[in-house]
Structure 1
Amino acid sequence: MKIFEIIKARNLKHAVSFTLLALLSLVLGGCAGTSPAGDSLLERAQLRWDSILSRDLDTAYSLYSPGYRSKHSRVDFEIELRTKRVKWTSAEYIDRECSENRCLVNFNVGFTVQRPVPGLDEFKSSNLIQDTWVKTRGEWWYVPPK
């Protein structure tokens, strides 16, 4: 009879452990969803820079706010990027500062400028860039500086 009590006790331990683990997963899962700017924002912010760096301008343009896209055509967007003397070479996420519907995302952006002054063929550097993102209808959108 003692053996059956030991088996019951072990099964009870496993059942309690499993229940606690399940509850902990639910609680932590709930916490992850309450972040004002979660993974979706960071994925979109990095995707925008990755798309610009790889010249996938369709994807980059699609991440700009609906307001921007209503005033600037895809062709205008491409002309604006292609006529800049600056060529971006890298973008590394640094941090973010967020409220409920607005987030400032900081990137360290590497760049080169061809022939910036006579006698200098190329200038390479990096700079901290702060991107503004707004949440509209449940989705994060990039808002360029004016």
Structure 2
Amino acid sequence: MTIEKSSMNQSRMVLGFLLGAAVVLSAGCSEKDAEPTGSQQNVANVTQSATKTREQQVAQRAQEHMDALIARNWEKAYAYLPPATRQLKPLQVYANRMNGGAMLRTAADIKEVDCEENVCTVTIDLAYIYTGTIEAMRGRETRSLLKEKWILSQGNWWLAEK
């Protein structure tokens, strides 16, 4: 009798766990793409994947990356590169390249995200001021469409550098 009772208790525990998981999953599915606020923004993208589409995840990461570039926060922008790239290219090399560019980014707006399985193409409307060596263009604010590739690796989306 004790073995049957123990087996029934285990079955009830498993059933209770499954019901609880079903409730949590169904609650997540009914939420309307709520944007994270405050401390919720620090939650890993893997957790967000339950409530956001991959296009939404990539759009968010691409915008965060652009915001870091606009702020000239090279360390934060560098964090969006794949781990393998960061192992090969130290932060200082990346920062030197970014500082030596011919543009000062002033605004960025994600226009479109098109995904295929583990690769997404992001179209960004980028506003920048030219700071290069061509005197006639220097200081001119320009807008252009920029296309970036983002790849899924190790459970997260990363900017694939050219």
TM over 0.5, yes or no? yes
**Contact 1:106/1:130, CA 8 A, preserved across alignment:** yes
Q: Which residue of 1 aligns with 2:72?
A: 55
Distance apart, 1:131 and its partner CA = 1.1
Aligned pairs for 1:1-12 (under 5 A) are none
Q: Is 1:67 the counterpart of 2:69 in the alignment?
A: no
Distance apart, 1:137 and its partner CA = 1.6
Q: Which has the larger radius of gyration?
A: 1
One-letter amino acid matched to 1:48: H
Aligned pairs for 1:97-108 (under 5 A) are 97-108=114-125
One-letter amino acid matched to 1:128: L
Q: Which residue of 2 aligns with 1:113?
A: 130
Give 2:100's match in structure 1, choosing from 56, 76, 83.
83
One-letter amino acid matched to 2:158: W
Aligned pairs for 1:9-20 (under 5 A) are none
In 2, Cα distance between equivalents of 1:120 and 1:104? 29
**Contact 1:88/1:109, CA 8 A, preserved across alignment:** yes
In 1, Cα distance between equivalents of 2:137 and 2:58? 39
**Contact 1:37/1:100, CA 8 A, preserved across alignment:** no
Q: What is the SS of the residue equivalent to 1:79?
A: helix
In 2, Cα distance between equivalents of 1:92 and 1:136? 24
Q: What is the SS of the residue equivalent to 1:84?
A: coil
In 2, Cα distance between equivalents of 1:80 and 1:120? 21
Distance apart, 1:120 and its partner CA = 5.2
TM-score (norm 2): 0.65
Per mean C-alpha deviation after superposition, the further-off stretch among 36-45 and 99-108 is 36-45
In 2, Cα distance between equivalents of 1:119 and 1:60? 30
Distance apart, 1:113 and its partner CA = 1.0
**Contact 1:107/1:128, CA 8 A, preserved across alignment:** yes
Q: Which residue of 2 aligns with 1:18?
A: none
**Contact 2:129/2:140, CA 8 A, preserved across alignment:** yes
Q: Which residue of 1 aligns with 2:144?
A: 127
**Contact 1:36/1:101, CA 8 A, preserved across alignment:** no
**Contact 1:115/1:123, CA 8 A, preserved across alignment:** no
